[in-house]
Amino acid sequence: MVKLRQNQVKHKLKRGEVVTCVSGIMDPDTVDFFGQFGFDSVWIETEHGPIDYKDIPDMTRACDIWGMTSIVRVNQNFPGIIYRTLDVGTQGVVIPHVNTAEEARAVVDAAKFGPIGSRGMYSSRQAIGVPDYMETANDESLVIILIEDIVAVNNLADILTVDHIDVFFVAPNDLAQSMGHLDNIDHPEVQATIDRAFQQIISAGRTAGHTVNDDTVEDTIKKGVRFVMGGWQDWVASGATAYLKKVSNASR
């Protein structure tokens, strides 16, 4: 009997290991290219950018080839959007602007089959050849919620009581905006709020996630964050700048 494909991120998090995720990828060929480097997961962006439902299946297939977990950020906390995204093949969903425990429970209800939730009864691309998909899907589906508004931080104690959420991801840009510090995630008040959120999540025995780059990833992991997401564009920009500088220096 064919078994449901394992969700690498869920299993690593259960073991308390750090999970890597690369974002900013817009097509399956680039997903395939990144597979060789050993990332745990790919963040497929459908809240912002051009990716639509028809693009998700092939991007998740490319993830499957390399054993990477496919994770799709949807654009709103709406049941049909959440379970349709799972239906077309992703192994995980990210839900933006989850500000209350009630909203967190709605995410779980949409993402999980009974008896946990009431996800619409349909199989999935991931279900092909898996006869017990309905019985095993809940074990392998990853649920991430974004803590990205100050109201969510203020309600975090209640939100953290909601079960079946794998990662509580503290998103800095919208959080800074909601605190009155537009486009200034480095503001001391914003950074202090982020650190308090990390501490609260970790103290509750839950998993914290955050956006990182080359300068912040080590410090973020030392703070106890176990899900780190970085964009590949910074790496290309750094390499391209260094390359062009060498060309310029050699041409003098």
pLDDT score, position 123: 87
- Please report the pLDDT score of residue 1 as a whole number: 75
Give the per-residue pLDDT at 246. Answer: 97
Domain boundaries, the chain: 8-251
Beta bridge partners of 170: 147, 210
Residues marked active site are found at 48
Residue 136 region, left (φ>0) first, then alpha (ψ -120 to 50), else beta? alpha
All residues at 6 or more sequence positions from 114 whose CB lies less than 8 Å from its CB, including other chains: none
What is the mean pLDDT of each successive set of 10 residues along the chain, which is 252 residues long?
94 98 97 97 96 96 98 97 97 98 98 97 93 96 98 98 98 98 97 98 98 97 98 95 97 90
CA distances from 119 to 5, 129, 226 (A): 19, 20, 27
Give the pLDDT of residue 13: 98
Give a three-class secondary structure readout of the chain. CCCCCCCHHHHHHHCCCCEEEEECCCCHHHHHHHHCCCCCEEEEECCCCCCCHHHHHHHHHHHHHHCCEEEEECCCCCHHHHHHHHHCCCCEEEECCCCCHHHHHHHHHHHCCCCCCCCCCCCCHHHCCCCCHHHHHHHHCEEEEEECCHHHHHCHHHHCCCCCCCEEEECHHHHHHHCCCCCCCCCHHHHHHHHHHHHHHHHCCCCEEEECCCCCHHHHHHCCCCEEEEEHHHHHHHHHHHHHHHHHHHHC
pTM score of the predicted model: 0.96
Contacts of 179 (CB under 8 A, 6+ apart): 150, 187, 189, 190, 193
CATH superfamily of 8-251: Phosphoenolpyruvate-binding domains (3.20.20.60)
Q: What is the pLDDT of residue 227?
A: 98
